[in-house]
């Protein structure tokens, strides 16, 4: 996926509630690439507008797994607190 596709995907997945702009997406892509979570792939078709497609790396997949574990544990803790306070 390239930056514009990512912006459109977020817009669709949020059912039109959020459309991130280039000033949010492209610096984030640069940061993710610098950290090794994504990498640029060859994919531009001759004659098309210049686009930089990216794919997730194994390091990026590992970070997502860690995040999913953290999120799951966090939600369990919040649920436990809700039982105490509500």
Q: For 24-77, how does the pLDDT look when each residue is reduced to its tens digit (9 = 90+)?
A: 999 999 999 999 999 999 866 566 677 889 999 999 999 999 999 999 999 999
Say what the pLDDT of residue 47 is.
Answer: 62
pLDDT at 82 over 70: yes
Please give the model's pTM, rounded to 2 decimal places: 0.76
The CATH architecture of the domain made up of 3-85 is Orthogonal Bundle (1.10)
H helices present in the chain, as ranges: 3-13, 22-35, 58-85
Angle, helices 22-35/3-13, rounded to nearest 10 degrees: 110
Distances (CA, A) of 58 to 8, 28, 36, 54, 73: 25, 18, 9, 13, 23
Say what the pLDDT of residue 85 is.
Answer: 79
């Amino acid at each position: 996926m390239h930056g514009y596709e990512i912006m459109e995907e977020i817009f669709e997945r949020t059912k039109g509630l959020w459309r991130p702009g280039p000033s949010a997406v492209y610096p984030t892509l640069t940061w993710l690439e610098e950290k090794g979570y994504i990498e640029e792939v060859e994919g531009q078709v001759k004659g098309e507008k210049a686009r930089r497609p990216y794919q997730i790396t194994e390091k990026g997949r590992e970070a997502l797994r860690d995040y999913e574990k953290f999120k799951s544990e966090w939600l369990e803790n919040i649920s436990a607190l809700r039982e105490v306070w509500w």
